[in-house]
Homo-oligomer: A and B are copies of this chain.
Amino acid sequence: MSIRIGILGYGNLGRGVECAISQNEDMELAAVFTRRDPKKLSILTTTAAVCSVSEVQEWKDKIDVMIICGGSATDLPKQTPEYARYFNVIDSFDTHAKIPEHFANVDAAAKESGHVAIISVGWDPGMFSLNRMYANAILPEGSDYTFWGKGVSQGHSDAIRRIPGVKDGKQYTIPVEAALEAVRNGENPELSTREKHTRECFVVLEEGADPTQVEQTIKTMPNYFADYDTTVHFISEEELQEKHSGIPHGGFVLRSGKTGWNREHSHLIEYRLKLDSNPEFTSSVLVAYARAASRLAREGQNGAKTVFDIAPAYLSAKSGEELRKSML
């Protein structure tokens, strides 16, 4: 029997989940729940229902796992504990500093209702976290490095767009190649913010806006740009549409460590992602963990979990026997 998935929220992430489900034969999309008028929402999967979030409780017994595709700032802190009362749930909560609080809230709700809830699933937090954790367990003495990019930072692009005189803009975070190489060479560098990443901005000006003024405002913006070497390019609206409408991202997690009685041997563990579509990759991770959630629930487990708590085999449609034969 297929694993019946619900999607709550149909933005980039929800659409990505829909696409990912179509790549997994043991899953089917049962319904998409939206805060908008369901009649006005058209989805890609012809066999799935489109419903208002107000109807969600009627689907209690018709959905095995609800994937909650809201934002981390205001949606997920409310939604995940709320829907964990009715469903096994998964989210991609990514406000690192607030994870302990979110975990506690979701855990309480999921334990009370007897559901499984997996939080902070995606690539960072998610696959990057897993790689940090495995690498630290294997090489207890060493240094960790995370680099992001090349990719679009939504937060930094939004910051640019709020500047007076800016019509539209997109910001790329780019890891500094020399810093990456120093880490790979086992130099264990101590890297400042500026030494790790550069920022590149593509900006469309409003008519009559002063480019020098805008560039200065961007480059000196505290937190967002002031601590980085930032490049600003002014381009036309057409060029922005044509060349910068994607949402690529990715990055690197590295651990450089020592072994040997006198710590005489160096080792490097590197994990890299290069993603054409940040939301579609995140969605693909969510869907793999939805499989795990459904299995764990069938085993009678409950409460909040993270990627650290889930044995890898739960993510795969293959049996243990097949996995040992083909992938070990």
Contact = CB atoms under 8 A, between A and B. Distances in A.
Given A267-B273, A281-B259, A307 B312 contact: yes
A132 interface: yes
A133 B323 contact: yes
Contact of A280 (B265, B309, B324, B328): B265
Contact of A129 (B131, B273, B327): B327
B280 A260 contact: yes
Interface string A281-321: 10111001001000000000000001111111101110011
How many protomers of this protein does the assembly include? Answer: 2
Given A259-B20, A271-B271, A308-B312, A327 B281 contact: no
Interface residues of A, number: 70
12 contacts: A23-B141, A99-B325, A120-B328, A127-B269, A134-B312, A136-B316, A138-B315, A267-B274, A268-B272, A268-B274, A272-B272, A310-B312
Interface of A: 16, 18-20, 22-24, 44, 96, 99-100, 103, 120, 125, 127, 129-134, 136-141, 184, 250, 259-261, 265-277, 280-281, 283-285, 288, 291, 306-313, 315-317, 320-321, 323-325, 327-328
Name the 7 nearest CB pairs between A and B, nearest first: A265-B276, A137-B315, A308-B313, A268-B274, A265-B277, A270-B272, A259-B280
